[in-house]
Chains A and B, each alone.
Chain A
Amino acid sequence: MKRFSELYWRLDAITSTNEKLAALQDYFAAAPAADAACALHVLSGGRQPRAVSTALLRQWAAEEAGIPLWLLEECYAQAGDLAETLALVLPPAATGTEPEAAGLAELIRTTIDRLRSEPEERKREIVVNVWRRLGMQERIVWHKLLTGGCRVGVSQTLVARALAEVAGVDPAVMAHRLMGRDTHTADTYRQLLDPEPTEQDSRQPYPFFLAAPLAQEPPELGPVADWQAEWKWDGARAQLVCRGGAVAVWTRGEELVSAAFPEIVAAAAALPAGTVLDGELLAIRDGRLLGFTALSRRISSKRTTKKLIAEVPCGFVAYDLLEESGNDLRGLPLAERRSRLERLGPPAVNAATVSAESRPFADGHTLWLSPCLAAASWADLAAARATARSRGVEGLMLKRRSGAYGVGRTRGDWWKWKIEPLEIDAVLLYAQAGHGRRAGLHSDYTLGLWHEGRLVPIAKAYSGLSDAEIVEVDRIVRSTTREKHGPVRVVEPTLVFQLAFEGVALSTRHKSGVSVRFPRISRWRRDKQPADAAGLDELVRMIGSPAVTEPTP
């Protein structure tokens, strides 16, 4: 228990990802398998039913502390966390008490698991006994385990990376081994750490080939006939890996998201064994695109409920075939891979009808083929690109027909030709000190627009100004601070910035009612006064096509 409690508090105290990774590695390298298996369950957000009611815990803690219950409630109101309140009000463990020797697994088994089956008077005895044995920090962690609220600020990717280091395997392999399993035993934990490849490790994706932003004029790329043009979808890049009768969905961040997209996994099960598709996850309802904000609800949800799937149905649009019948096709020219992909059979999305009004995605399908745009000249493609925003796509992708599927961001064969960002003039409302190189400088800004005579915050923007400008803004922020809330300063509205962003969507999670995508500052409008900044209505009008509108939940 001591070791896990130390991990908990170490993770609580640090913010750097590398230090968190080191803390996790240290823990997994040292912890006995049974304890590590329990810890992994907790770190993965796994829940256990509450073993005892918090009303009883409060009552017993007040009795042990010799204080009235109302005073304990006062304490809870001040501390804001029950696990912590109980630990703090209880009398400290008597000096000379031996540190708790039981490991995490044993302590859970002999206390928390037992509490579930014992009658109430025995429960009190068990709980009070633990209180007397544990130090303050261990008590807090134990309370969190007991009440089912032990959340630790580490991502699953980080946990997988730490375990991969300890096992000496690739992080993607570990992520895969962790897939779809949230309880572990000492035995399954040992299997996780197997340095040799296992049967299920065969579901690895290929490294993603990434496109570079198009920097030159398209005609400089040569004859338009040498290029395959597609819509640049506003979704999440992913590979569907179908091998050995199982399907894995991997995002570009090497995150395994199969569990979040059961309908895609089910549809891909019909593909021949030994198939790997490269493409895009998209939220599609009634044959129309729902936009990235909708999709992100699916990607980020911890639990994929039927309700969520019904609200935000998703599909996969394939644009490349990387493996066929178990053979790696990446060395073949794109034109060849494309014709094999077409033979595979998913229905192609009608390129011309991608828009808000029509229904380009055929009913009854979950997998589609990303269409190629027919073009006789670069001017045709430029015209197509000009319609991108109204279609709910981000622009065009240009891929050399003779090119192989490269590795990483190799320049030359894949280009993204995105539409220009949207822009609006907004007023600086709050500023917060940055981190790292910008520590101590107010470089994180919240900007607002006019609405009914007041400025309402619409976006946070972190970048876009030069270092010299940041220093200058920092000075103005300090001299115009109206209030301080911790690290955040509320400033007099004096500065106007041009905010660039990729899209606007209605949002119930933002006070302003809208959310902007990829906001960043493109220019300091020194020529403008706050009164010259835009109104919220202007931003709302940019929502334009309902194709990119988030459905109202």
Chain B
Amino acid sequence: MPDLLELTPDGLYCRQGDFHVDPWRRVPRAIVTHAHADHARPGCARYLCAAPGKLVLRERVGGGMPIDTLRFGESLTINGVRVSLHSSGHVLGAAQVRLEHAGVTWVVTGDYKTQADPTCAPFEHVEADVLITESTFGLPLYRWQDPAEIAAAINAWWRENQAAGRTSVILAYALGKAQRLAAMVDPSIGPIVGHGAVMKMVRAYRDSGVRLPSIDGVPPRARKVGNGRALVIAPPSVAGSRWLRLFGDVSVAMASGWMTIRGIRRRRGFDRGFVVSDHADFPGLLEVIEASRARRVLVTHGATEALARLLRERGLDAGTLPTRFMGEAVPDRRSAAADANADEAEPEDDDGADNDDRGHDRDDDGADDAESAP
């Protein structure tokens, strides 16, 4: 029985169905788990994604190419392979891909979390013979707190900053984390302001029917915003940028699973770190792997070697699956730990691979223009 998915230079490929899952290059038919840039590349001839994620994916890959959708749980047969999508709880519309052919089931989890998130559907457990799982936080260091406690900590920090006349800036991915944070915090504390890259995705979320509190964009040519009262949600690339000067005195916090580690928080120079991740923590990964009842597990994206070894010790047939983005997504933490100066070895953020950065730079430039205009 040949494998249902194999790794090719274009990414994961299903020969039987003649389609790719989260391809790295332009291919004729791409099934996309979610719209983060390391999973959704522009330029494919035809896309398939979960229905709730269509507008977000459209925002990312641009107009033109057709995007087919499936509701969560609905199935479609492509060249004899039965394909269905199941919520992965990562961001709006993020899906696990289930493939069934000749009595064998493969599931590609994509990125996922088991924690509750008011801005997307919850994770659905799916059984599989072979499971391809992500492992961004695949070490027992990572165990998330109750989101309600984190929300309370963020609210308290925001109030503290207000009392000191400082604007609160929280850095988070423009897609997913930013909207989740907006939905987590207490909007009665003060105004919420979004960076341009965040606002684009806020619109896509709202157009997809997600309820979010009121979020203001930064007006073009604004000279001063926030007045020490606002919570500003912006992508991580604005850290240390001129755009931040719009807000006067600021306290800058990073929202990321990596903020678990004090050394990373300190070296990156953030005032605060909040452990908010759209990925599963270590217990979450183990729970999902166990519930899948898979006998064979391929680990990708993250602490692959360690998790695969642990699964083998527990009697599973487990291996690793390289990803094109591995260099960025898997920080070389050993050297980061050994050398305080090895900043480059640290993760940019949860999806080190998410090249949101390009988007930010563009938006930064916009902000700079707005500022320097007379």
Which residues of A are at the interface with B, using a C-beta cutoff of 8 A?
12-13, 65, 67-68, 70-72, 74-81, 84-85, 88-89, 92, 140, 433, 439-441, 474, 478, 483, 485-488
> Could you show 5 A-B contacts with beta carbons less than 8 Å apart?
A67-B140, A70-B309, A71-B139, A439-B245, A439-B250
Which chain A residue has the least Cβ–Cβ distance from B246?
Answer: A440
Is there an interface contact between A89 and B141, defined as CB atoms closer than 8 Å?
yes
Q: Within 8 Å of chain A (Cβ to Cβ): is B214?
A: no
Residues in chain A near residue B140, CB distance under 8 A:
65, 67, 71-72, 75, 88-89
Contacts A75-B139, A486-B268 given; indicate if A81 touches B263 (C-beta within 8 A).
yes
Q: Is B103 an interface residue (CB 8 A)?
A: no
A342, B346: Cα distance in complex, Å = 62
Q: Is B267 an interface residue (CB 8 A)?
A: yes
Q: Which residues of B, 300-354, contact A by the 8 Å Cβ criterion?
A: 303, 306, 309-310, 313, 333-334, 336-338, 341, 343-344, 346
Distance in angstroms from A485 CB to nearest chain B CB is: 4
Partner of B263, one of A67, A74, A79, A88: A79
Cα separation A74 to B140 with both chains bound (whole Å): 9
Q: Is B244 an interface residue (CB 8 A)?
A: yes
- What is the CA–CA distance of A72 and B142 in the complex, to the nearest angstrom? 12
A486 CA to B265 CA, complexed, in Å: 11
Does B358 reach chain A (CB closer than 8 Å)?
no
Partner of A68, one of B267, B269, B313, B337: B313
Using A65-B140, A79-B141, A84-B261 as known contacts, list a sample of 12 further A-B pairs with CB atoms less than 8 Å apart, ordered by residue number in A.
A12-B262, A12-B266, A70-B309, A72-B140, A78-B334, A79-B333, A81-B337, A88-B141, A88-B143, A92-B143, A440-B242, A487-B240
Measured between alpha carbons, how far is A79 from B334 in the docked complex, in Å?
8
A80 B336 Cβ-Cβ under 8 A? yes
Distance (Å) between the CB of B287 and the closest chain A CB?
14
Q: In the bound complex, do residue A77 and residue B334 qualify as a contact, i.e. CB atoms below 8 Å apart?
A: yes
Contact A486-B337, Cβ < 8 Å, known A78-B141, A440-B240: no
User: Which residues of chain A have C-beta atoms less than 8 A from B240's C-beta?
Assistant: 433, 440, 487
| Residues of chain A contacted by B313 (CB below 8 angstroms) | 68
List, in ascending order, chain B residues with CB within 8 A of A74's CB: 139, 303, 306
Bound Cα distance from A251 to B343, whole angstroms:
37
CB-nearest residue of chain A relative to B305? A74
For the complex, is B239 an interface residue (Cβ under 8 Å from A)? yes
Q: Is B260 an interface residue (CB 8 A)?
A: yes
Q: Which of A76, A88, A92 has the most CB of B within 10 A?
A: A88
**Cβ of A486 and Cβ of B267 under 8 Å apart?**
yes
Q: Which residues of A contact B272 (CB under 8 A)?
A: 13
Say yes or no: A81-B262 contact (C-beta < 8 A), given A71-B140, A75-B139, A486-B269. yes
B262 touches A84 (CB 8 A): yes
Give the top 4 A-B pairs by smallest Cβ distance, nearest first. Answer: A80-B337, A78-B333, A486-B343, A485-B343
A81 contact set on B, CB distance < 8 A = 262-263, 337
A65–B313 Cα distance when bound, in Å, is: 16
A440 CB to closest chain B CB, in angstroms? Answer: 5
| A residues less than 8 Å from B341 (CB atoms) | 485
Contacts of A474 in B (CB 8 A): 242
Interfacial residues, chain B to chain A (CB-CB below 8 A):
139-143, 239-242, 244-245, 250, 260-263, 266-269, 271-272, 303, 306, 309-310, 313, 333-334, 336-338, 341, 343-344, 346
Shortest distance between the CB of A60 and any CB in chain B (Å): 15
CB nearest neighbor in B for A81:
B263
**SS class of chain B's interface: helix, strand, loop or mixed?**
helix
Q: Considering the complex, give the chain B residue whose CB is closest to the CB of A434.
A: B240
Q: How far is the CB of B218 from chain A (nearest CB, A)?
A: 15
Contacts of A85 in B (CB 8 A): 141
A475 CB to closest chain B CB (Å) equals 9
Q: Within the complex, what minimum Cβ distance (angstroms) separates B328 from chain A?
A: 13
Selected from A77, A433, A478, the residue in CB contact (under 8 A) with B337 is A77
Identify which of B260, B309, B310, B343 contacts A488 (C-beta below 8 A): B343
Residues on B with beta carbons closer than 8 Å to the beta carbon of A75: 139-141
Chain B residues contacting A486 (CB-CB under 8 Å) are: 267-269, 343, 346
Q: Would B271 and A71 count as touching, CB distance under 8 A?
A: no
Contact, CB under 8 Å: B260 / A88 = yes
Q: Which residues of B contact A78 (CB under 8 A)?
A: 139, 141, 261, 303, 333-334, 336-337
In the assembly, what is the distance between CA of A80 and CA of B139, in Å? 14
Cα separation A483 to B341 with both chains bound (whole Å): 14
A45 to B225, CA, bound (A): 43
- Does the CB pair A440–B338 fall under 8 Å? no
Partner of A487, one of B239, B334, B337: B239
Within the complex, the shortest CB–CB distance from A291 to chain B, in Å, comes to 28
In Å, the complex CA distance between A207 and B171 comes to: 47
The chain A residue with its CB closest to the CB of B365 is A478
Tell whether, in the assembled complex, residue A80 and residue B263 are in contact, meaning their CB atoms are under 8 Å apart.
yes
Cβ of A79: which chain B residues have Cβ within 8 Å of it? 141, 261, 263, 333, 337
**A68 to B141, Cβ gap below 8 A?**
no
Check B244–A440 contact: CB distance below 8 A: yes
Partner of B269, one of A72, A441, A483, A487: A487
Min distance, Cβ B296 to any Cβ of chain A, angstroms: 21
Per the bound structure, the CA–CA distance linking A391 and B227 in Å amounts to 56
CA distance A92 to B145 in the complex (A): 10
Output the least CB separation between A78 and chain B (Å).
4
The closest CB in chain A to the CB of B242 belongs to: A440
Q: A439-B245, A487-B240 are in contact. Are A80 and B338 (CB under 8 A)?
A: yes
The answer for the CA separation of A505 and B49 in the assembled complex, in Å, is: 65
- Write the chain A residue with the least CB distance to B269: A487
Residue in chain A with minimal CB distance to B331? A78
Q: Closest residue to B157 on the A side, CB-wise?
A: A13
Q: In the complex, how many angstroms separate the beta carbon of B373 from the nearest chain A beta carbon?
A: 15
Smallest distance from the beta carbon of B281 to chain A beta carbons, Å?
A: 11
Q: Is the CB of B306 within 8 A of A71?
A: yes
* A77-B333 Cα distance, complex, nearest whole Å: 7
Interface centre among A13, A68, A75, A440 (most CB of B within 10 A): A440
The residue on B at minimum CB distance from A87 is B141
For B272, give the chain A residue with the smallest CB separation. Answer: A13
CA distance A13 to B269 in the complex (A): 10
CA distance A485 to B240 in the complex (A): 12
**A72 vs B306: C-alpha distance in the bound complex, in angstroms?**
10
Q: Which residue of B lies closest to A84 (CB)?
A: B262
Point out the residues of chain A lying under 8 angstroms from B333, CB to CB. 77-80
Chain B residue at minimal CB-CB distance from A62? B140
For residue A490, which residue of chain B has the nearest CB?
B344
Give the complex CA separation of A439 and B344 in angstroms.
22
Give the distance to chain A from B360, nearest Cβ to Cβ, in Å: 12
A69–chain B nearest beta-carbon distance, Å: 12
How far is it, in angstroms, between the C-alpha of A12 and the C-alpha of B239 when the chains are bound? 20
Contacts of B250 in A (CB 8 A): 439
Residues of B within 8 Å of A485, CB to CB, are 341, 343-344
Chain B residues contacting A88 (CB-CB under 8 Å) are 140-143, 260
Distance of B243 from chain A, by nearest CB (Å): 8
